[in-house]
């Protein structure tokens, strides 16, 4: 008669052994206890290495940064690309984050964002407005002096006291990255005064990228008025105080933020916070100082989308003026 093999089972840990580690345990008990202790040790020790492991894995995935050419201003694109890449490389090494940089035109920025191919973007407010629904409004990283104003100026002794007096006259306008909202602001001024579209109201409109070539023609009587930035006008006044005495302000815009860095919505990563901190300490590196000089800002600060309220309001008002009856078929 064949004996039935005894069924093997793991004996539970005895109460004595649990309360008194000195009590001897059987082989199965030793193996079970060792296994449980090993698992417990791993769980308790994981807090030490797991965050580092996750951060290392996160850092291996590059932050895809897309920069619009619209924020470059009147600079050579190749020079801007080289300077930006040097700063990005230094920043990436400093925070241990890989950064994949792309420099794109406006259409490229919009397409890149819509396809989910960028984690962070540097763009102007007009571009932002078109894709705001897929961007994170909680973090706007912008220059410390990014909020600027636009001014409409005329000469003191010209007899021009208000915007309506410029009808049929010569206007000079500044055109650079920071002036991207200027046409919309001018449009709202003309709408308020029931003056009609700019191309019909002014006798001629000339543009230039240098404040001196916009302000000085009014100073010397070669133009009747100019639209420039407050910062550019103040720079001209520092160089020549007579400019401040001889020119008067016909209108001034609210302060506006027009260019900034922003992240795509739902982008969460350890790298994101590192990049924000690195941007905020821009001036700490030589490359960062060169970038600030090249793009004419002092530092980068973290805000939220409320800083864009006045700028977006102007764009909205200008858009309404373009579509309302009697707008003369004005185009944006």
Tens of pLDDT along 243-252? 999 999 999 9
Q: Going by DSSP bridges, is the β-strand pair 259-264/170-174 parallel, antiparallel, or unpaired?
A: unpaired
Distance CA 135, CA 83 (A): 26
The answer to whether 61-144+258-305 and 150-254 have equal CATH topology is yes
- Give the span between the Cα atoms of 143 and 245, in whole angstroms: 30
Q: What are the backbone dihedrals phi and psi of residue 197, each rounded to the nearest 5 degrees, phi first?
A: -65, 150
pTM assigned to the model: 0.76
Residues 6+ apart with CB under 8 A from 194: none
pLDDT exceeds 90 at position 160: yes
Residues 6+ apart with CB under 8 A from 105: 68, 69, 70
Would you state the CATH architecture of domain 61-144+258-305?
3-Layer(aba) Sandwich (3.40)
| Average pLDDT taken over every residue of the chain | 80
Report the alpha-carbon distance of residue 205 to residue 183 in Å, rounded. Answer: 12
pLDDT tens per residue across span 186-245: 999 999 999 999 999 999 999 999 999 999 999 999 999 999 999 999 999 999 999 999
* Domain boundary assignment for the chain: 61-144+258-305, 150-254
Residue 118, pLDDT score = 96
Tens digit of each residue's pLDDT (9 = 90 or more) over 110-137 = 999 999 999 999 999 999 999 999 999 9
What CATH homologous superfamily does 150-254 map to?
Answer: Periplasmic binding protein-like II (3.40.190.10)
Q: Confidence class of residue 285 from pLDDT cuts 50, 70 and 90?
A: low
Strand partners, 178: none
């Amino acid at each position: 008669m064949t004996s039935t093999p005894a069924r093997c089972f793991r004996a539970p840990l005895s109460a004595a052994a649990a309360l008194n580690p000195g009590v001897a345990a059987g082989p199965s008990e030793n193996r079970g206890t060792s296994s449980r202790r090993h698992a417990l040790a791993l769980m308790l020790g994981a807090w030490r290495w797991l965050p580092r492991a996750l951060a290392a894995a996160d850092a291996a995935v590059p932050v895809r940064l897309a920069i619009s050419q619209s924020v470059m201003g009147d600079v050579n694109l190749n020079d801007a690309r080289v300077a930006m890449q040097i700063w990005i490389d230094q920043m990436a090494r400093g925070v241990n984050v890989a950064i994949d940089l792309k420099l794109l035109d406006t259409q490229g920025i919009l397409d890149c964002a819509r396809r989910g191919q960028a984690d962070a973007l540097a763009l102007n407010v007009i571009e932002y407005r078109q894709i705001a629904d897929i961007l994170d409004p909680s973090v706007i990283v912008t220059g410390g002096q990014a909020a600027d104003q636009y001014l409409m100026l005329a000469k003191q002794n010209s007899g021009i006291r208000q915007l309506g007096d410029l009808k049929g006259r010569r206007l000079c306008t500044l055109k650079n990255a920071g002036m991207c909202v200027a046409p919309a602001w001018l449009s709202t001024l003309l709408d308020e005064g029931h003056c009609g579209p700019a191309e019909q109201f002014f006798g001629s409109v000339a543009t230039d990228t240098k404040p001196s070539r916009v302000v000085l023609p009014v100073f010397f009587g070669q133009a009747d008025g100019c639209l420039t930035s407050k910062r550019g006008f103040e720079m001209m006044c520092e160089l020549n105080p007579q400019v401040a005495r001889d020119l008067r302000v016909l209108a001034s815009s609210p302060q506006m933020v027009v260019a900034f860095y922003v992240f795509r919505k739902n982008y969460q990563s350890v790298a994101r916070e590192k990049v924000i901190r690195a941007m905020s300490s821009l001036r700490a590196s030589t490359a960062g100082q060169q970038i600030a000089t090249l793009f004419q800002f002092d530092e980068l600060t973290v805000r939220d989308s409320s800083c864009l309220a006045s700028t977006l309001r102007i764009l909205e008002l200008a858009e309404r003026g373009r579509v309302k009856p009697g707008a003369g078929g004005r185009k944006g």
